[in-house]
Amino acid sequence: MTSDSAASPATTLIDLPTIDLRGRDAAGLTRQALGGVLPRAALDVDRAVELVKPITEDVRVRGGAAVREYTHRFDGVDLASTRVPEEVITHALETIDPAVRDALEEAARRARVVHEAQLPGRKDSVPADGLTVSTRFIPVERAGVYVPGGLVAYPSSVVMNVIPAQAAGVESIAVASPPQQEFGGLPHPAVLAACALLGITEVHAVGGAQALAMFAYGTSECAPVDVITGPGNVYVAAAKRIVSGTVGIDGENGPTEIGIIADHTADPAYLAADLIAQAEHDPGSCFLLTTSEKLAAAVAAELSNQAAALNRRDAIEKSLAGESAIVVDPSMDRLIELANRFAAEHVNLQTADDKAVLNKLAHAGAVFVGPYSPVAAGDYIAGPSHCLPTNTTARFSSGISVYEFLKRTGIARYDTPGIYATGSLVYRVGSSAYGAYPYREWAIPLGEMLGSITEGIVRERSLTSGRVVYPPSAVTREQYEWRATVREFDEVDAPNSVTTSVSLVAQLVRVADDSVVWSGAAQEMEPIAQTLSIDAVIAGLSTAAARAIVRLTDEAGSAMRRLAAAGAQQR
């Protein structure tokens, strides 16, 4: 469909500003400079925080009583209980328009497919011999979903927040939505029906800042949550800022935004419809970035024609005239750069080469490619969540996904040779930080291991003969009675204790049992024990030496068991 129509004489023209960037340096349009070039719907969260802080603090202290008081003050509803009875939630689904139910079911199905595909797989890595590292993704235990309910109902927000949480594996999910006087002090029936459709049985008839505080601090009816997500007005954003740190939040998302990048091939009627779909939220920032002056004029005329037939015409005209603009520049690259600086919540591409433009687009909450991908489809049915970053925060954040409900835990597992072979790295990093050799971080467990073997062999050998039998001159009486007490050694002595332990245990294993005659591990240890020096110990045992120690300790354990058995027979 192509339209070149102009506004009829009876149609009120929308005063949509046009900004001509020809001759301006796009590189100079920084985020700070954009404030003086492109209008944007304001979100004064700082001011709202001042108003909201007493409310959240009161809820933290007084719990449910405070929540009910603020609900009565702001919503005109006197609640005996914030929690909606389960039978009411079920009834809402049973009585909803079947066509609406079918649409919600399809929206939920698509959202589940999209978000289950986001789940990360677990993959182990091996940074070094003897070390395995993996990342474990663990869902939070409980999530709170806020669903606004001011001028209109948002059952789609139930789908767009609950499905990612369920896909992530969150076991407990609570929903809060403002009570409506016309529905007997309950949230909108469409919201309740969406909750029932997704198996949510905990719904609270609470809105605004008090709902966020209820989720964060808990009441007698609502246990505190770990994460809060969901859209809302500036007071909801302010409450999120206040409770952030007590709970996780998805972001302080503000008024809706759309940026359309289009060239002469685009249909002005389609562009106008996409702009109006966001402008009707009021407030909202709507921008058309185009290389075509002719297209800019046609879209302006089309906006007036289409808005004239809509029941939210006043809100649309207010948003388009005060917080929106058409930007004209013959350079597509400059327009893309401008879009990246603006980092809009929604970006729609309608150009002759959408793929090339998409590849250069770095910052956007969600992108809709082509004339048949309206933003409204993303708001309700496409699958990805419509809860997206606004106010340039798409530069560093993303829309809601399973990741808002998952924690990442790093898991490292060393085997014995692996940790002993790491000594040199511990030394280098630790000494650079503290100016001293961190012997005890790794020498103590090694010394204790070898020392315990020494003591065990001496003890079991004594049981066998009824007295301490000293081996030939290879091991002196003092060495034979040596005990590992590495904790008592200072930094200079610690390496010597390890060297002595290695040599002593190797020799003790040799004489512990007549049937043991320098097996492979002991033979490996003899030259290692003889050549170990303080410097070598400080530098860290090699992997070969560490593995030989492990084999030697296993062999020593076998000798100890044989000695214990022989001693038991003699007794």
> Looking at the annotation, which residues are catalytic?
345-346
DSSP structural state of residue 180: B
Alpha-carbon gap, residue 208 to 249, rounded angstroms: 15
Q: Are 188 and 177 in contact (CB under 8 A)?
A: yes
Rounded to the nearest 10°, the torsion over CA 157, 160, 164, 167 is 100
Q: Which amino acid is at 508?
A: L
SS (H, E, C) 385-424: CCCCCCCCHHHCCCCCCHHHHEEEEEEEEECHHHHHCCHH
Q: Which residues are registered as beta bridge partners of 256?
A: 284
CA 274 to chain centre: 31
Q: Tokens 């699958």 sit at which residue?
A: 383
Q: Are 389 and 254 in contact (CB under 8 A)?
A: no
Q: Tokens 């997704």 sit at which residue?
A: 198
Alpha-carbon gap, residue 171 to 196, rounded angstroms: 16
Alpha-carbon gap, residue 252 to 255, rounded angstroms: 10
CA 517 to chain centre: 58
Alpha-carbon gap, residue 132 to 123, rounded angstroms: 10
Rounded to the nearest 10°, the torsion over CA 9, 281, 357, 355 is -100
Alpha-carbon gap, residue 259 to 19, rounded angstroms: 14
